[in-house]
Amino acid sequence: MSIIDRYLIREILRMAAIVLVMVVGVYLAVDFFEKVDNFLEKNVPLDRALAYLTYKLPFIVAQVMPLGLLLAVTITFGLMNKRNELLALRAGGVGLGRLMRPIVALGILSTILLFFLSEAVVPPTMDRANRIWRGEVRQEAMLVSRQHNIWVKGRRSIVFLQHYHGPSRTAYGLTVNRFDDDFRLVERLDAEAGSYRDGRWRLVGVMAQRRRPGGGAMTVTFHDTLTAALELAPEDLSRAAREGSEMSYGELRRHVERMAAEGYDAGAYRVDLQAKLAFPVICLILAVVGAGIGLHRLAHGGLALAVAIGLGLAFLYWVFFSFCLSLGYGEMLPPLVAAWAANLLFACIAGVVMLAVD
């Protein structure tokens, strides 16, 4: 490794550490002050509140790591540009490709690190954080299997569902048992799937069994679709079902395989599966984008402008990435396209930015 490589890597890592500490600190502070009233209301000890924030830390770091790398590269090259260090290197025969070599290496290493963090560290720590929030703060009591086979008890109903996907608000394999005041079964609904829209559940492939007035026999009817008001809110199911952030890639893949084997549409989960592979790669892409911004002549005259452009592009990525995932959940885009479209777009942006470098 040459002196130039060591210098660039050292400066970028130093700047990345500063940016991550600042961004993560702000994130934790906002999260804490948003929820401190909930902790105080339930008399949750301070050490449990601190444990909750500690367990969330890996998830926060994983979310902001691409932004931290983008800003670190932009600021490092921007400062070198402002101090005419880049001009001196270029005059000494150091070409653009030579300058980009350590950036690409850092981008690849960051991608691997982010995937490892998301795969091995984030799932168990987020599970513990959610247990504190749901069990000790919200004090929810549900009989659930955290990944599938979920039971939810309402005032006059007991609902069972085999799978639930939070982002698309879709449940699979529903059985709804409704009871009267004496806890006698008056209705049972069995549905292949159900989606929550405008405060009601739209059930698909429904067999409805209803008891005749006076306690007679059950009548059976079949419906292609049925709109029903259930004692079941998506927020309840999101808290009961295991979230994607609590599952590793391997666990999510096995979950998809199980759903497919049971005959359910696993399209939404396939989007999540592809997203777990696609998101870490943005570290490499944004590192190149940051280098292009920092190397551009606009960074020589105004580093603040270069940083603002970097922040704007990072925000645009998250918006577009989330939008594409939503289209994937709605089956308007294939899972592969939904998860990777944002990366493809920003890879093109990275190429355009690098071509604009003098």
| pLDDT at 148 (0 to 100) | 67
Please provide the average confidence, as pLDDT, over all residues in the chain. 86
d(CA 125, CA 193): 31
d(CA 180, CA 214): 12
| pLDDT at 267 (0 to 100) | 81
Contacts of 341 (CB under 8 A, 6+ apart): 320, 324, 333
User: Which two tokens mark 232?
Assistant: 């079941």
| pLDDT at 145 (0 to 100) | 45
Instruction: Determine which of 165-169, 217-221, 233-237, 319-323 has the lowest per-residue pLDDT on average.
Output: 233-237
For the stretch 267-305, pLDDT in tens is 888 999 999 999 999 999 999 999 999 888 766 667 888
Which is higher by pLDDT, 112 or 144?
112
The CATH code that applies to domain 150-241 is 2.60.450.10
| pLDDT at 284 (0 to 100) | 96
For residue 127, pLDDT over 90 is answered with no
- 212: DSSP letter: P
For the stretch 226-270, pLDDT in tens is 998 887 777 667 656 666 666 788 888 888 888 788 777 778 889
Question: Which percentage of the chain shows pLDDT scores above 90?
Answer: 42
For residue 140, pLDDT over 60 is answered with no
Q: What is the mean pLDDT of residues 198-221?
A: 85
| pLDDT at 158 (0 to 100) | 87
β 170-179/185-197 pair status: antiparallel
Q: What is the mean pLDDT of residues 313-340?
A: 94
| pLDDT at 298 (0 to 100) | 66
For residue 98, pLDDT over 60 is answered with yes
- Sequence spans of domains, the chain: 3-139+265-355, 150-241
Contacts of 136 (CB under 8 A, 6+ apart): 42, 44, 48
For the stretch 23-65, pLDDT in tens is 999 999 998 888 888 888 888 888 898 999 999 999 999 999 9
64 touches 24 (CB < 8 A): yes
| pLDDT at 171 (0 to 100) | 87
Which is higher by pLDDT, 179 or 301?
179
| pLDDT at 305 (0 to 100) | 86
Query: How many residues would you count in the chain?
Result: 358
| pLDDT at 299 (0 to 100) | 62
β 150-153/157-165 pair status: antiparallel
223 touches 208 (CB < 8 A): yes
| pLDDT at 143 (0 to 100) | 45
| pLDDT at 245 (0 to 100) | 62
Question: In angstroms, how far apart are the furthest CA atoms of the chain?
Answer: 95
For residue 336, pLDDT over 90 is answered with yes
d(CA 114, CA 61): 9
Give residue 142's pLDDT band: very low, low, confident or very high (50, 70, 90).
very low
d(CA 229, CA 211): 18
291 touches 103 (CB < 8 A): yes
Element spanning 33, H or E: helix 3-41
| pLDDT at 239 (0 to 100) | 58
